Chains A and B, each alone.
Chain A
Amino acid sequence: EVQLLESGGGLVQPGGSLRLSCAASGFTFSSYAMSWVRQAPGKGLEWVSAISGSGGSTYYADSVKGRFTISRDNSKNTLYLQMNSLRAEDTAVYYCAKGLLPVDTAMVTFDYYYYMDVWGKGTTVTVSS
């Protein structure tokens, strides 16, 4: 069974740092793009960042560019999100999600790697003094 388990959330002061982890199981982790999506309390979904299967390509929302860093350790089947210079508006539940198709799938366009077909349960980040 494909599973994603986020961890690392908590309470942090404005300007602080936090590293989220997402442990993956049940699939060939290195073959799939991965993403982070967040949801502030009572708000909609906001895409945060994505990374290719190899880790060679990374993408960020403008709201976190320069502050957050996505990475992965394919030997540990783990996705990370390093969050620095945290702000109150970063308070949210953070979900990791798996890409729909493996990155070596022939005859598909870029988007098929980044549709999110399996999601974790989320980890909560609260930025407050």
Chain B
Amino acid sequence: DIQMTQSPSSVSASVGDRVTITCRASQGISSWLAWYQQKPGKAPKLLIYAASSLQSGVPSRFSGSGSGTDFTLTISSLQPEDFATYYCQQANSFSFGQGTKVEIK
């Protein structure tokens, strides 16, 4: 099975900061990767699919990149509503990363 490892597990940042989260697959998955945002008590929300495609309605400050085994989610200028937990998911055998919590500094 393909394992997904996210780093860091948590990050403290301020409004306006640039935040980068990485996700590494245990084997190559081409561009078959999505990023989701989840706020406490809520269902996850799709942000990015196919590694770099922005889901409709998602602000352009979110971007994704990478292929093969290494992927990145970038928030270019953190907004108050972006404090949440972020998960990567590979679409080969569907496993999620363990999550990255973005907290207020």
The residue in chain A whose Cβ has the minimal distance to the Cβ of B49 is: A115
Q: How many residues on chain B are close to A (CB under 8 Å)?
A: 25
A114-B46 in contact (CB<8A): no
With A117-B55, A122-B43 known to touch, is A62 a contact of B49 (CB < 8 Å)?
Answer: no
Contact status of A117 and B46, CB under 8 A, knowing A45-B38, A109-B32: yes
Interface of A is mostly: mixed
CA of A37 to CA of B87, assembled, Å: 13
Nearest Cβ on chain B to A22's Cβ, whole angstroms = 12
**Distance, CA A116 to CA B97, complexed state (A):** 15
Minimum CB–CB distance for A102 against chain B, Å? 15
Q: How far, in Å, is B9 (CB) from chain A's closest CB? A: 10
Residues of chain B within 8 A of A95, CB atoms compared: 43-44
Instruction: Indicate whether B71 reaches chain A with its CB closer than 8 angstroms.
Output: no
Alpha-carbon distance between A100 and B97 when the two chains are bound, in angstroms? 20
A45 vs B93: C-alpha distance in the bound complex, in angstroms? 14
Chain A positions 96 through 129: 1 when the CB is less than 8 Å from some CB of chain B, otherwise 0: 0000100000000111101111011110000000
In terms of DSSP, what is the predominant structure of the interface of chain B?
loop
By the criterion CB–CB under 8 Å, are A115 and B43 in contact? Answer: no
| Shortest Cβ distance from A101 into B: residue | B49
- Whether B91 pairs with A119 at a CB distance below 8 angstroms is no
Alpha-carbon distance between A62 and B98 when the two chains are bound, in angstroms:
17
Least CB distance, B10 to chain A, in whole angstroms? 12
Contact in complex: A121, B55 (CB < 8 Å): no
Which residues from chain B contact A56 at a C-beta distance below 8 Å?
none
In order of increasing CB-CB distance, the 6 nearest A-B pairs are: A111-B91, A119-B43, A111-B32, A47-B94, A115-B49, A44-B99
* Chain B residues in the interface with A (C-beta under 8 A): 1, 30, 32, 34, 36, 38, 43-46, 49-50, 55, 85, 87, 89, 91-99
15 A-B residue pairs with Cβ-Cβ distance under 8 Å, sorted by A, are A45-B38, A45-B44, A47-B89, A47-B94, A50-B94, A59-B93, A95-B44, A111-B50, A111-B91, A114-B94, A116-B34, A117-B46, A120-B43, A121-B43, A122-B43
